[in-house]
């Protein structure tokens, strides 16, 4: 969620004085030092450390990591270990990245990368490239004799999600499969691929040469599914982020691809507010009874766009959060804080940020610091006078995150809402968000980024909703194989058929 209490000076500085290959040797002493620092950072700064895992579970994963170091020899292997621990916590706002120069060197690599684009369709990983060595739509069974299920399980650690959500990880894997494979397994000369054509009885085997980093992404940009899923990757202009259209005399479609429109003072937010007021005035005047709300590409954005939108789709009083807290009074461990300035003057620069944190989280309870009733997050909001009272059909997908998942979860909590699609990457009951912070490990220069505010969202208890999962649909609908081949929207067509049956 791109809501900030203050502006942090987050400069990712390049490392000086050590090698730039991720495959270089890296000493166990340095690994142990950095793992200890990483653990200390999480314990002192990250309020979400025990959100989805018990203390016993977190202690166990660190014990595993400490023991695992004895089996590691390279920088890449250590980065993978830190990624594993990062992912285990369960927060889509967690991110662990290698230094810029190492990342730039990956991009320069001329060989070693998997050459084909893949996409998850109905439980299988399919070829998403036309005119390649393997036919479009063929199912991958194994790569270099590793079952694809095992490959995916290994690569999941690189794309974090809230709780124990798995659907969201498919987004990162479909985009960066080749890079993730290289990070996990190293550079490969070629790939032995066992695959099966659609409806074939027997599998086939082929050996394909590796390609460069840039060649893989060139092929990904030319993927078969681009006409269908490009909106997820697009840098949207303001007039592409939302729209409304009538479907028939009784039904309409409200599409919101993003809440990135600035806060109350921005012109883009003001234009969006005018759009909503106009749309819902017309909906009421035209006696629209059914409204499809499509947020399948909404990865979040700025407050209060999500809340203003919800005020047109509810009949209840509401607030953004039931509670929100952080785990420190003053920013800890400043010597590792990644702001690109000398350590000795960092306390001077972060002083005002500490005061703002203390103003926003003034209530101390069990050594944590909570917002009070004066916080904007706890402001009681009312439905708009033209708020919709008919049937809502909410379309969701794994791409729905942060402010998008907060909004979707609130709408899904309405009694007049049917939720259709796939589980969201963002949690239903809450998440860690709002304010990102970055730290840099001293030896490896690995940067760890996470959001520090632990949020409990203002949503009702639902019998079909697990605490450690994203928003679960009432009706799970995924794209079919036939619609994948034709780039047809299975979920939208399913919803339109529901409306016809009403």
Domain ranges, ordered by start, for the chain: 109-224, 238-337+363-434+456-501
Confidence band, pLDDT 50/70/90 cuts, at residue 19: low
> Is 451 in a helix, a strand, or coil?
strand
DSSP track, 348-403: HHHHHHHHHHHHHS-EEETTEEE--TTSGGG--B---TT---SEEEEEE-TT--TH
Instruction: Give every CB contact of residue 31 below 8 A, 6+ residues apart in sequence.
Output: 69, 72, 78, 81, 443, 444
Q: Is the pLDDT of residue 16 over 70?
A: no
Other C-beta atoms closer than 10 Å to the C-beta of 359 total: 11
Confidence band, pLDDT 50/70/90 cuts, at residue 132: confident
Half-sphere CA count of 211, side-chain side, radius 13 A = 15
> What pLDDT, in 10s, does the model give residues 3-14?
443 333 333 333
Q: How far apart are CA 97 and CA 40, in angstroms?
A: 18
Q: How far apart are CA 178 and CA 247, in angstroms?
A: 41
Q: How far apart are CA 485 and CA 103, in angstroms?
A: 34
Q: Is the pLDDT of residue 46 over 80?
A: yes
Phi, psi of 437 (to 5 degrees): -135, 150
Q: Where are the alpha helices (DSSP H) in 223-340?
A: 226-229, 267-285, 305-310
> What pLDDT, in 10s, does the model give residues 100-117?
999 999 999 999 999 999
Average pLDDT, the chain: 93
- What would the two tokens of residue 475 be? 């009706």
User: Alpha-carbon torsion 418, 423, 424, 426, what sign?
Assistant: positive
What torsion, rounded to 10 degrees, do the Cα atoms 230, 232, 234, 238 define? 130
**What is the rounded average pLDDT of the residues 287-315?**
96
> What pLDDT, in 10s, does the model give residues 208-242?
999 999 999 999 999 999 999 999 999 999 889 99
Q: Is the pLDDT of residue 452 over 70?
A: yes
What is each CA distance from 256 to 40, 170, 231, 247, 253, in whole angstroms? 40, 22, 12, 16, 10
Helix (H) or strand (E) holding 252: strand 251-256
The residue assigned the tokens 């420190």 is: 328
446 close to 79: Cβ distance less than 8 angstroms: yes
What is each CA distance from 496 to 229, 395, 420, in whole angstroms? 20, 11, 11
Predicted confidence at residue 9, as pLDDT, reads 35
- What would the two tokens of residue 362 be? 């003034």
Please give the CATH superfamily to which domain 238-337+363-434+456-501 belongs. Answer: 2-enoyl-CoA Hydratase; Chain A, domain 1 (3.90.226.10)
Q: Give ∠ CA 448-451-453 in degrees, rounded to 5.
A: 150
Closest CA to 481 of 224, 236, 254: 224
> Is 450 in a helix, a strand, or coil?
strand
> What pLDDT, in 10s, does the model give residues 363-383?
999 999 999 988 988 899 999
Q: Between β-strands 321-326 and 417-421, what pairing exists: parallel, antiparallel or unpaired? A: unpaired
Q: Is the pLDDT of residue 411 over 50?
A: yes
Q: How far apart are CA 120 and CA 126, in angstroms?
A: 6
Predicted confidence at residue 385, as pLDDT, reads 94
Q: How far apart are CA 442 and CA 77, in angstroms?
A: 17
State what percent of residues in the chain have pLDDT above 90.
89
Query: Mutual orientation of helices 169-185 and 213-221 as an angle, nearest 10°?
Result: 160
**What is the rounded average pLDDT of the residues 323-347?**
89
Q: How far apart are CA 411 and CA 323, in angstroms?
A: 19
Helix (H) or strand (E) holding 180: helix 169-185
Q: How far apart are CA 235 and CA 486, in angstroms?
A: 25
Closest CA to 219 of 113, 302, 141, 315: 113
Closest CA to 489 of 299, 300, 294: 294
Other C-beta atoms closer than 10 Å to the C-beta of 245 total: 11
Predicted confidence at residue 131, as pLDDT, reads 83
**What is the rounded average pLDDT of the residues 434-438?**
93
Q: Is the pLDDT of residue 187 over 70?
A: yes
Please give the CATH superfamily to which domain 109-224 belongs. Answer: PDZ domain (2.30.42.10)
Whole-prediction pTM: 0.92
> What pLDDT, in 10s, does the model give residues 56-95?
999 999 999 999 999 999 999 999 999 999 999 999 999 9
410 close to 314: Cβ distance less than 8 angstroms: yes
Beta bridge partners of 449: 95, 438
- What would the two tokens of residue 448 be? 């760890």
> What pLDDT, in 10s, does the model give residues 307-333?
999 999 999 999 999 999 999 999 999
Other C-beta atoms closer than 10 Å to the C-beta of 382 total: 11
Closest CA to 406 of 88, 46, 162, 236: 162
Other C-beta atoms closer than 10 Å to the C-beta of 222 total: 12
């Amino acid at each position: 969620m791109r809501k900030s209490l203050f502006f942090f000076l987050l400069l990712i500085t390049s490392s000086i004085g050590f090698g730039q290959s991720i495959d270089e040797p890296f000493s166990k002493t340095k690994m142990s030092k950095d793992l200890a620092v990483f653990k200390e950072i999480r314990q002192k700064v990250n309020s979400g450390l025990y959100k989805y895992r018990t203390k016993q579970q977190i202690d166990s994963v660190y014990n595993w990591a400490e023991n695992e170091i004895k089996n590691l020899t390279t920088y890449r292997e250590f980065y993978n270990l830190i990624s594993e621990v990062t992912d285990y916590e369960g927060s889509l706002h967690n991110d662990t990245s290698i230094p810029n120069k190492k990342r730039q060197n990956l991009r320069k690599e001329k060989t070693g990368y998997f050459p084909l684009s893949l996409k998850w369709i109905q439980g299988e990983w399919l070829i998403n490239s036309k005119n390649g060595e393997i036919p479009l739509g063929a199912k991958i069974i194994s790569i270099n004799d590793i079952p694809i299920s095992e490959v995916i399980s290994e690569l999941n650690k690189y794309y974090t999600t809230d709780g124990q959500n798995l659907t969201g990880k498919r987004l990162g894997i479909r985009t960066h499969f080749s890079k993730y494979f290289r990070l996990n397994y190293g550079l490969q000369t070629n790939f032995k691929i066992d695959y099966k054509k659609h409806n074939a009885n027997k599998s086939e085997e082929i050996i394909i040469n590796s390609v460069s980093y840039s060649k893989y992404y060139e092929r990904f940009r030319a993927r078969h599914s681009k006409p269908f899923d490009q909106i997820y990757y697009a840098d949207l202009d303001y007039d592409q982020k939302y729209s409304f259209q009538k479907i028939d005399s009784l039904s309409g479609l409200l599409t919101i691809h993003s809440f990135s429109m600035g806060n109350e003072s921005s012109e883009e937010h003001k234009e969006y507010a005018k759009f909503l007021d106009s749309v819902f005035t017309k909906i009421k005047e035209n006696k629209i009874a059914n409204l499809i709300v499509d947020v399948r590409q909404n990865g979040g954005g700025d407050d209060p766009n999500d809340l203003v939108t919800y005020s047109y789709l509810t009949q209840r009083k509401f607030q953004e959060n039931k509670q929100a807290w952080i785990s420190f009074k003053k920013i800890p461990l400043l010597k590792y804080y990644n702001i690109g300035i000398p350590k000795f003057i960092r306390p001077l620069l972060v002083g005002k940020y500490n005061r703002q944190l203390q103003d926003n989280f003034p209530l101390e309870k069990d050594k944590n610091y909570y917002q009070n009733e004066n916080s904007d997050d706890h402001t009681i909001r009312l439905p708009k006078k033209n708020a919709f009272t008919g049937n809502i059909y909410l379309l969701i997908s794994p791409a729905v995150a942060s402010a998008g998942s907060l909004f979707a979860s609130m709408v899904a909590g309405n009694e007049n809402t049917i939720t259709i699609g796939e589980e969201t990457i963002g949690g239903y009951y809450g998440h860690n968000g709002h304010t990102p912070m970055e730290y840099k490990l001293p030896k490896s220069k690995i940067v760890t980024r996470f959001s520090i505010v632990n949020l409990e969202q203002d949503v009702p208890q639902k019998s079909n909703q697990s605490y450690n999962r994203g928003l679960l649909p009432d009706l799970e609908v995924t794209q079919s194989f036939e619609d994948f081949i034709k780039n047809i929207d299975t979920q939208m067509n399913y919803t339109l058929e529901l409306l016809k049956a009403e």
